[in-house]
Amino acid sequence: MADFDLVLKGTVVLPDRLVEGGHVAVRDGKVIHVGQGAMPAAKERHDLSGALILPGAIDAQVHSLSQKNQEDFIWSTRSAAAGGVTTIVDMPYDEGNLVCSAEAVKIKVDHAAPQARVDFAFYGTVDPEEGPARIGEMAEAGVAAFKFSTFGTDPKRFPRIPAALLEDCFRAIAPTGLTAGVHNEDDEAVRAAIARVKAMGITDYRAHGLSRPPLTELLASNQIYETGAETGCPAHVVHCSLGRGYEIASAYRAQGHRATIECCIHYLTLDEENDVARLGGKAKINPPIRPRAEVEKLWRHVAAGNVTLVSTDHVSWSEDRKTDPDMLANASGVPGLEVMVPLFVKGALERGIPLTRAAELMALNPARHFRIDHVKGALEAGKDADITVLTPEPYTYNAAASGHNVVGWSPYNGIHLPWRVSATWLRGTLAFDGSKVLAEPGAGAFVRPLPTLVSSGGR
């Protein structure tokens, strides 16, 4: 009689060590144990010698609904499954439905559930005209965190939250134990920089970086962390492109404050002088892609343990919104769900950074951050059997060729990757077999955080 439903053998990647010749045993959709040596009996066994077995990634920042009638969960979760991402955390800035109430959360859950091929969690936010009144009800409705912006991209869909209102929101969130994540660009400073760029008549690829120089980002980051320190609310910078930003976050943590920080995969992969110059609007992201010297600083912070999470900030804009010759006229953001894990593994191996960081920054830490680590984030007994397998099969990435993306363009097209996602399991069921996404729409489930008692001290 088989002891388990599924056993996978290979190099098991844990947050603290690599288990060579290890195995993961699964029963009823849960990890039962991680071992070493002979594979135990199971209904299904795979000896994956030479493969890496990682916990399914949790992408902390996905925009499935930013462009109406474009991507939606039917496609974002397909890309996720193909990329070894087993849970996405979706942003609240949906075109036509700002997720700022319990009712809006319910509408989004009901919308996503029939489409999702992997599991999903949600951010909530506030309507600036309404303030923090609905934060409590959104926490009860199951949001995993709250998201705000110090920059106003759009007054309705992506509004600026002024300093006083941000403080009020942080105070309202603090008792829930959830985190306040904030888009870190100072509105006044960015608008002044944009005006200068336009006055100089610069419209090519350089315009974007010049319109958001480093100080615009760092001013906002300091505001975010100081607001967290004042209110006792966990404060999170959702995307930092600058080494200095990680130093600021580290300093606040050293002072006992709950100050976390996220690095998007594009900041670890692309640079301004080569990639933005080549791609133009297809590499326009807020905050901007920085010079290569800054990219290498970020990897040093990954190695030093100063990065909390790695995510994609995935959004699949239609190509017509990313190809305007006027750099500033393009939409901001890029797709990345299908390729985040292989890109991180490539970058880490090239720099001698242990692959344990992959399990930490793309699984364990996000699960803890969003308070879903009771079921997600680790190859550990009792957790969901969300598993990603990478095999050493070098290939050149092409978003259109895979068929798993709603758009055929990607800023990562043409990058040579040494490891390929060859299988993804969601709660013990094969979701991706290396070429086809097998998970049907509706296979994914809404994941909500476990209610947490909050202490008055830092963490």
The hierarchical CATH code for the domain 4-54+381-432 is: 2.30.40.10
Mean pLDDT by 10 residues, the chain (459 residues): 90 97 98 95 95 98 95 98 98 93 98 98 96 97 97 79 97 97 97 98 98 98 98 98 98 98 98 98 98 98 98 98 98 98 98 98 98 98 98 97 96 98 98 98 97 51
To the question of pTM greater than 0.85 for the whole model, the response is yes
Yes or no: say if 5 and 44 are a contact pair by the CB < 8 Å rule.
yes
pLDDT of 351: 98
pLDDT of 311: 98
pLDDT, tens digit, for every residue of 325-349? 999 999 999 999 999 999 999 999 9
- Amino acid letter, residue 39: M
Yes or no: say if 84 and 404 are a contact pair by the CB < 8 Å rule.
no
Strand order in the sheet with 235-237: 57-62, 85-90, 119-124, 145-149, 180-183, 235-237, 259-264, 309-311
pLDDT of 452: 65
155 vs 162: CA distance, rounded Å = 12
Yes or no: say if 290 and 267 are a contact pair by the CB < 8 Å rule.
yes
pLDDT of 286: 97
pLDDT, tens digit, for every residue of 207-245? 999 999 999 999 999 999 999 999 999 999 999 999 999
pLDDT of 459: 35
Rounded to 5 degrees, what are φ and ψ at 51? -90, 155
- 185 alpha-carbon distance from chain centroid: 18
- 354 alpha-carbon distance from chain centroid: 20
pLDDT of 453: 56
Domain borders along the chain are 4-54+381-432, 57-369
Architecture of domain 57-369: Alpha-Beta Barrel (3.20)
Q: Where are the alpha helices (DSSP H) in 201-305?
A: 206-211, 214-231, 243-254, 265-269, 277-279, 292-304
- Amino acid letter, residue 363: A
Long-range contacts of 268-271 (CB under 8 A, 24+ apart): 268/295, 268/298, 268/299, 268/302, 268/310, 268/343, 268/344, 268/347, 269/295, 269/343, 269/347, 269/412, 269/415, 270/295, 270/411, 271/295
